[in-house]
Amino acid sequence: MLTVASCDVFQRYAQVYDALYRDKDYDTECDFLNTVFRQFGKTPIKRVLDLGCGTGGHSIPLARMGYSVIGIDRSVEMLKTARRKADTFNLDGNLKFKTGDIQTAECQGTFDAVLCMFAVLSYQVSNAELTAVIANARQHLPKGGLFIADFWYGPGVLCERPSERIKDIRVGNDRIIRLVMPVLNSEENIVEVKYRILKFEKNRLIGEIQETHNMRYLFKPELEYILTQSQFTLEHFGPFGQLHEKLSEAHWNAMFVARAV
């Protein structure tokens, strides 16, 4: 039996990532992003940069819609999976993946929209990290370009406190059990999410993965301040997936649309 305690987030987790999130409806989320592009884009959105693209959950459907997409992630293992999945489609050169840190990675030219999806922004736990990602998004946008991100919403996290959870899924004859043990640090606005993942082949335990993901929950005033300092204006702030609903303490997952100025 293999036991791994990984300090490099997502390197081991990548092995089971898509299985654990197979119920996440990326296609519907990309349809929503398409609506956001049409509603907020001053010019047609054609070129998209996906910061923290992971296994390509958003990048691939957007490329299939006809957008030209570059996805960036620092996890080599996640990108291996993304490229393998992308190879099953004829994307006509619409999609490229690049290994890099989303705080500093550079791509040639500018984009019509920059994305930071599936709470990737909440992985930026310090002010310096958060500011660096937002500033890097701005560097890749012309005036009028869009920056769209979703994240953990502070009032929702504090109202409905993180709790221990278990996810049990079947993959053919195999089984994956994920135990989530969160620890709330309200002084730093961080949830320390401890994952323990058990992998079974039939009924035999064949591996265990342990990782800790530190997640920062965010509030509108701090985000609006950093966006303004990075030459953005805040165009929309609300629940992810809902353009006409107001945020409340019932929402954990929020989003913003910012415009480069």
208 and 2 in contact (C-beta within 8 Å)? Answer: yes
DSSP summary character for residue 58 = T
Q: Which residues contact 90 (CB under 8 A, 6 or more apart)?
A: none
Closest CA to 184 of 156, 210, 214, 209: 214
Cα 212-162-179 angle, rounded to 5 deg? 50
Range of the domain at 85: 13-154+218-260
Residue 27 and residue 87 in one domain: yes
Question: Quick one: pLDDT band at residue 13, thresholds 50, 70, 90?
Answer: confident
The total of structural domains in the chain comes to 2
The percentage of residues in the chain with a pLDDT greater than 70, rounded to a whole number, is 96
Measure the CA–CA gap between 74 and 89, rounded to whole angstroms.
23
Residue 32 and residue 139 in one domain: yes
3-state secondary structure of 91: coil
3-state secondary structure of 17: helix
In this structure, what CATH number is given to the domain that contains residue 35? 3.40.50.150
Residue 173 and residue 129 in one domain: no
Residue 102 and residue 70 in one domain: yes
**Average pLDDT value for residue range 43-54:** 98
**Average pLDDT value for residue range 47-74:** 98
Residue 111 and residue 97 in one domain: yes
Measure the CA–CA gap between 47 and 11, rounded to whole angstroms.
28
Residue 57 and residue 167 in one domain: no
Give the dihedral of Cα atoms 74, 75, 81, 85; nearest 10 deg.
-20
Question: Quick one: pLDDT band at residue 2, thresholds 50, 70, 90?
Answer: very low
32: how many CB neighbours lie within 10 A of its CB?
16
Q: What pLDDT score does 8 carry? A: 54
For residue 204, the surrounding DSSP H or E stretch is strand 204-216
- Strand order, beta sheet including 253-260: 95-99, 68-73, 47-51, 113-116, 146-152, 253-260, 232-239
In this structure, what CATH number is given to the domain that contains residue 161? 2.20.130.10
- Using one digit for the tens of pLDDT, what is the confidence trace for 65-99? 999 999 999 999 999 999 999 999 999 899 999 99
Beta bridge partners of 48: 69, 113
Residue 32 and residue 97 in one domain: yes
Residue 198 and residue 106 in one domain: no
Instruction: Indicate the length of the chain as a whole number.
Output: 261
Structure tokens that stand for 142 in this block: 């012309």
Domain edge (last residue) among 197, 215, 233: 215
Lowest mean pLDDT among 3-17, 40-54, 221-235: 3-17
